[in-house]
Structure 1
Amino acid sequence: MMRISRRSLLGLAGAGAAGLALGACGDGGSGSGGAAGGTIRWWHIANTDPMLSAWADMARRFEAANPGVTIEITALENEAFKTKLTTNIQAGDPPDIFHTWGGGVLAQQAEAGMIKDLTADVGGWRDQLIPAALDAYTIDDKVYASAVDTGMVGFWYNKELFAKAGVTTPPDTWAGLLDAVGRLKSAGVTPIALAGKEKWPGHYYWAYLALRIGGLDLMRQAAADKSFAAPDFVTAGERLSELVALQPFQTGFLAAGYSTADGQAATMGNGKAAMELMGQWAPTVQKDSSAGKAGLGDKLGFFPFPAVDGGRGRITDAFGGGGGFAIGRNAPAKAIDFLRFIAQPDNARIEAKTAGVLPVVKAAQDAVTDPNLKSVADILGSSTGFQLYLDQAFAPAVGQQVNDSVAELLAGQASPQDVAAAITTVAKQG
């Protein structure tokens, strides 16, 4: 049984699928066979500007410094990326460099021999990273990816809409959140924006409620037992059902994407909803998705997921993840050099400033100047525990079932008991 560290790091979110090939003069070649040069196939999920262009520029600079190397980029939206990567992995043809959230998915890829053991290589720049940077990518004391960014999920809220509804302070209890939802609805404000179509944003609610009710021990026990039958998971569904009963989401949320023109981020960024539960990248995507690319500016605030009365979890326990890059089994040697290049402080600063992420490179911490991002960093910095996204912490089939079952609960098509039972069935099969 593989041991997977529980602390994690966080990835960027993106919109519609896109592909971009970067050509450079040189000897061409293939990404397989371990040649010093050749073509490096790089798959990532920063598929919208500004980071799409920033990554492309970084690749061009690396090509210029390494004659004979060509970096071929494929940039995909989260779910499209997962589907395409799964297909390639099953065919025994992983990309040379690809995004990973760590956890159970990375463990399966390592067990199947699809990725390189980077323990010795990452040792060359490990001291540049924050202490917990590589935990999510460490399996049986071996490192299988290099970290890029870190963060957590919480509630982003529109201060102006809260004031309109008479909600003077962000709620710090679940009962307080439900009360705020009621006040917002009474004021004619849509309380929460949600991308129901994409499913992964919905699982945040159930996972966070389970974390607040049962604590980190509940999650660890579920992993050990391959079971979500504990009463606390059912209770999490019951608490989420309380929210669903208030009809807090925007009209048509079940068909809404995350970063589409009329999706969750745009609904929030255009001031049409008061809250969204999302990671620290949210302000960037809100702005990019909003009319005129304006976003909410200083109207935007952040608060941690509330505590649940009687719960054993602490409000200071964080839930989220991170973004890193793994190396495919047949990648050329220069692929590892590119990871080292990305980890240079100046390049880490570019990502932090451009994409609105928390860097894992120590020297790049000074690039975090956005007040909202600093708020997330402060909360994360004082966290007492950390839980990786459930759709990444567990095996892919289990993670998908979490997303599917919670989506059914949000649509009124499954009970809290149904959710726990369905996920347990899939977990037991693994």
Structure 2
Amino acid sequence: MGDPALSRRGFLAASAAAGLSMTALSACGGDSDGGSSGTTTIEWWNISTTQPTKDVWAGLAKQFEAQNPDVKIKIVQLENDAYKSKMTALTASGKLPDIFHTWGGGVLKQQIDAGLVEDLTDRTKEWADGLLPVAREPYLFDDKAYGIPFDIGMIGFWYNKALFKQAGISTPPTTWSGFLDAVRKLKSAGITPLALAGKEKWPGMYYWAYLAMRTAGIDALQKASDDKDFTGEGLVQAGQHLQDLVDLQPFQKGFLGAAYSSPTGQAATVGNGKAAMELMGQWAPVVEADMGKGLGTNLGFFPFPEVEGGQGALTEVFGGGGGHALRAGAPQAAVDFLKFFASAATDTELVKKTGVLPVVPAAESALTDPNLKAVQTQLKAATGFQLYLDQAYAPAVGQEVNDSVAALIAGSKSPQQVTESITKVAKEEQ
């Protein structure tokens, strides 16, 4: 699996949105339109449902079609949770789309083990070797490439500088106790400290995962997965630290029913100045501006604080990347599209127009946003990287992490019960 230290890293990102009801979708797979036209239709499934990404990606598909008149790209877009549900069903049916969004990790490994994913090693080597190495890691298994990245990134706190100033907070907190103090100051000033999409569970998981990294250390999460035992003291303490935050009632009114990317959801709440912070990936500014007004120069970024006495470091980062994989036996046109999507010209356009971080070194010069530069600085200085838990772990285990942490935040599970529930599912997966 390549460097085992790196393989525990990786990047998730993309415009990770979720929450719309699933729609019935047609079966997938490349085909020919028949007749004398000889046109190949490629289905491209992705999660880029928010603007400007949705239109930019549609425009790129048109560019590719113009360059390849015998190929038609059929785009299918679903929000994050609906996409995961649909892909789980398609994986079980044994038929995946020609090109599909992947975060790598345990979910992709499951699809590979089922023989459903194309080995891209030889078909992409000529150009894929030039991509940022760490961005490729989530898609490498036994030194073989099963996906091509289009994005890298990390999770951190996005905050409203004006609201911090209003509450008398001069600098972002660097310790967990300092963070809790900041939450108290914001509440005292009549400001909602945090926005959370409680309906969707994965945004809440970020808190527990980071607290686990800061308390038990980054290696503890991998060890817990390997040992099928998440009940170690450090992981229980992570839940206790999260409980301390929840007890302060820091989230917006109605957060348990809130989506991430809806007009009243997490991103909009921050983008409209109704909450001071959100814990989210580097796509956050784009979605805040799409769903709300956006904060412009009032928006700032800071890394997840250290936990005093913990085993983790501020430079250990939690995040992921977005990539594309192909179904086994996908036509050459699908490989050609991945090459097009990973070109310097395309990546430069993505960086300029959609706020992603570059995976093609030649596109780095297009990065001008100060907040995204701050994220990239954190990434480049990272001494450790943990892939999103709901992607790094087997799907059932990742889902249980999300569900159990959501239950803790909702007040129906204790920190100890969170670790016991995850352990139970991990053992059942053996």
Q: TM-score band (shorter)?
A: over 0.9
Q: CA deviation at 1:301?
A: 0.4
Q: Is contact 2:51-2:287 (8 Å) kept?
A: no
SS state at 2:152 partner: strand
State the match for 2:380 in structure 1.
381
Does 1:344 find its partner at 2:343?
A: yes
- Name the aligned partner's letter for residue 95 of structure 1: P
- Taking a change above 3 Å as real, the CA distance of residues 417 and 52 of structure 1, as seen in their structure-2 partners, is same
Q: Is contact 1:317-1:386 (8 Å) kept?
A: yes
SS state at 1:305 partner: coil
Q: CA deviation at 1:180?
A: 0.4
**2:310 & 2:276 partners in 1: Cα distance?**
26
**2:330 & 2:142 partners in 1: Cα distance?**
22
- Name the aligned partner's letter for residue 302 of structure 2: F
**2:12 & 2:385 partners in 1: Cα distance?**
12
State the match for 1:428 in structure 2.
427
- Name the aligned partner's letter for residue 272 of structure 1: K
Q: CA deviation at 1:18?
A: 9.0
SS state at 1:150 partner: coil
State the match for 1:160 in structure 2.
162
State the match for 2:33 in structure 1.
28
- Name the aligned partner's letter for residue 14 of structure 1: A
**1:199 & 1:318 partners in 2: Cα distance?**
20
SS state at 2:210 partner: helix
Q: CA deviation at 1:37?
A: 5.3
**1:207 & 1:266 partners in 2: Cα distance?**
24
SS state at 1:157 partner: strand
- Name the aligned partner's letter for residue 421 of structure 1: E
Q: Is contact 2:13-2:154 (8 Å) kept?
A: no
- Alignment partner of 1:263 out of 262, 265, 271: 265
Q: Is contact 1:260-1:289 (8 Å) kept?
A: yes
Deviations 1:278-334 (A, max 9, x none): 0000000000011xxx31000010000000011010010000000000001132121
- Taking a change above 3 Å as real, the CA distance of residues 29 and 202 of structure 1, as seen in their structure-2 partners, is farther
Q: How does 1:277-426 map to 2 (within 5 A)?
A: 277-290=279-292, 294-426=293-425
**2:390 & 2:167 partners in 1: Cα distance?**
34
Does 1:14 find its partner at 2:10?
A: no
State the match for 2:235 in structure 1.
233
Q: CA deviation at 1:29?
A: 5.1
- Name the aligned partner's letter for residue 28 of structure 1: D
Q: Is contact 1:28-1:69 (8 Å) kept?
A: no
Q: CA deviation at 1:48?
A: 1.9
- Name the aligned partner's letter for residue 185 of structure 2: R
- Name the aligned partner's letter for residue 181 of structure 1: V
State the match for 1:33 in structure 2.
none
State the match for 1:171 in structure 2.
173
**1:101 & 1:230 partners in 2: Cα distance?**
27
- Name the aligned partner's letter for residue 171 of structure 1: P
**1:230 & 1:6 partners in 2: Cα distance?**
19
Q: TM-score, length-normalised on structure 2? A: 0.94
- Name the aligned partner's letter for residue 320 of structure 1: G
- Name the aligned partner's letter for residue 126 of structure 1: A
Q: TM-score, length-normalised on structure 1? A: 0.94
Q: CA deviation at 1:67?
A: 2.2
Q: Is contact 2:154-2:318 (8 Å) kept?
A: yes
Q: Cα RMSD over matched residues?
A: 2.0
- Name the aligned partner's letter for residue 353 of structure 2: T
**2:118 & 2:33 partners in 1: Cα distance?**
23
Q: Is contact 1:267-1:273 (8 Å) kept?
A: yes
**1:46 & 1:343 partners in 2: Cα distance?**
16
**2:13 & 2:274 partners in 1: Cα distance?**
26
Q: CA deviation at 1:223?
A: 2.1
Q: CA deviation at 1:86?
A: 1.1
- Name the aligned partner's letter for residue 305 of structure 2: P
Q: CA deviation at 1:27?
A: 5.8
**2:10 & 2:39 partners in 1: Cα distance?**
32
Q: Is contact 1:28-1:70 (8 Å) kept?
A: no
Instruction: Return 116-125 or 175-184, whichever deviates more.
Output: 116-125
Determine what percentage of the aligned residue pairs are the same residue.
57
**1:27 & 1:84 partners in 2: Cα distance?**
24
Q: Is contact 1:17-1:76 (8 Å) kept?
A: no
Could you tell me which runs of 5 or more consecutive residues in structure 2 were left unpaired when the two chains were aligned. none
Q: Is contact 1:164-1:187 (8 Å) kept?
A: yes
**1:374 & 1:298 partners in 2: Cα distance?**
14
**1:358 & 1:215 partners in 2: Cα distance?**
26
